A and B are shown apart, each in its own frame.
Chain A
Amino acid sequence: DAGITQSPRHKVTETGTPVTLRCHQTENHRYMYWYRQDPGHGLRLIHYSYGVKDTDKGEVSDGYSVSRSKTEDFLLTLESATSSQTSVYFCAISVGRSIMNTEAFFGQGTRLTVV
């Protein structure tokens, strides 16, 4: 599993509340990603990081922010949760020296329900 863990695994939250999901890795990999998975949409990229304090937006970044103050942790924050953000969230890391020559490993996923 490339030493990647997500927390929490399940969460139910109310509309309008902030939520933070954590992705933790133990092997000092540079590249980390957050995806959301919804039926019929596959895995869509929310944000990604190339290293400490180096982050960028993916295709569905509205309503989300990220932080990476340490190599091992990549945090995803929903500033004010909405029902449309109910989804399964996967963190992933790329194992390799270059983004163009690498295999990705996924965390176990976090099932988030916004009520």
Chain B
Amino acid sequence: GENVEQHPSTLSVQEGDSAVIKCTYSDSASNYFPWYKQELGKRPQLIIDIRSNVGEKKDQRIAVTLNKTAKHFSLHITETQPEDSAVYFCALIGRRALTFGSGTRLQVQP
């Protein structure tokens, strides 16, 4: 089946710094790559996604880049704020369902 590896598992940054989370995958047929944010005790929610015909997508302070040749995609958060503290999951569409990475716990220190 599909496999997606996510790194790092934990990330601590100072408020205002940037954070980068990276995922690698093995199934070259994947063409949809979403990122989810999960706050403590809440459900995961989509924050940004990218499709295989695009190399980069931005939405205010967050951006996602995709390198299909190298089979990796990354989430970039700039000017981090305390409310960015959460667990972030990358995902991709496998043959029949979303497959998730193991998650990155981001802690933004004020």
Using a CB–CB distance below 8 Å, which chain A residues touch chain B? 31, 33, 35, 40-45, 48, 50, 56, 58-59, 90, 92, 94, 99-109
Contacts and interface: CB of A to CB of B under 8 A. Distances in A.
Interface stretch (B13-21, B68-76, B97-105): B97-105
Nearest to B103: A42
A107 B98 CA distance: 15
| Chain B interface main SS type | strand
A45 B103 contact: no
A96 B103 CA distance: 25
B12 interface: no
B34 A45 contact: no
A39 to B, nearest CB: 9
Given A58-B97, A99-B96, A90 B34 contact: no
